[in-house]
């Protein structure tokens, strides 16, 4: 568990540094992120459609019988 604790501590240090850069103001950080542009060569992926597809599949599977496997 020692390694996980070290990772968590490092993440908190990074989080505190970023928060300090924006005066511990979440709105200021969000405003900055919203205005930040993606580079043209950067791929932006929108996974919202996959979430809907997964939900549809889950509903479909839930209404049918599970497949029977022979042993």
pLDDT tens for the chain, residues 1 to 71: 678 899 999 999 999 999 999 999 999 998 888 887 767 777 878 888 887 777 777 777 775 555 666 65
Q: Provide the token pair at 1.
A: 């568990």
Predicted local confidence at residue 8, as pLDDT: 94
3-class state of residue 1 by DSSP: coil
What DSSP string describes 2-65? Answer: HHHHHHHHHHHHHHHHHHHHTTT-HHHHHHHHHHPPPPTT------HHHHHHHHHHHHHHHHSP
Predicted local confidence at residue 66, as pLDDT: 57
Domain range annotation of the chain? 1-34
């Amino acid at each position: 568990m020692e390694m996980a604790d070290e990772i968590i501590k490092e993440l908190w240090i990074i989080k505190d540094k970023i928060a300090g850069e924006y005066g511990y103001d979440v709105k200021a950080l969000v405003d900055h992120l919203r205005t930040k542009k993606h580079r043209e060569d950067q791929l932006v992926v929108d996974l919202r459609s996959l979430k809907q597809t997964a939900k549809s599949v889950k509903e479909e599977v839930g209404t049918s019988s599970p497949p029977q496997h022979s042993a």
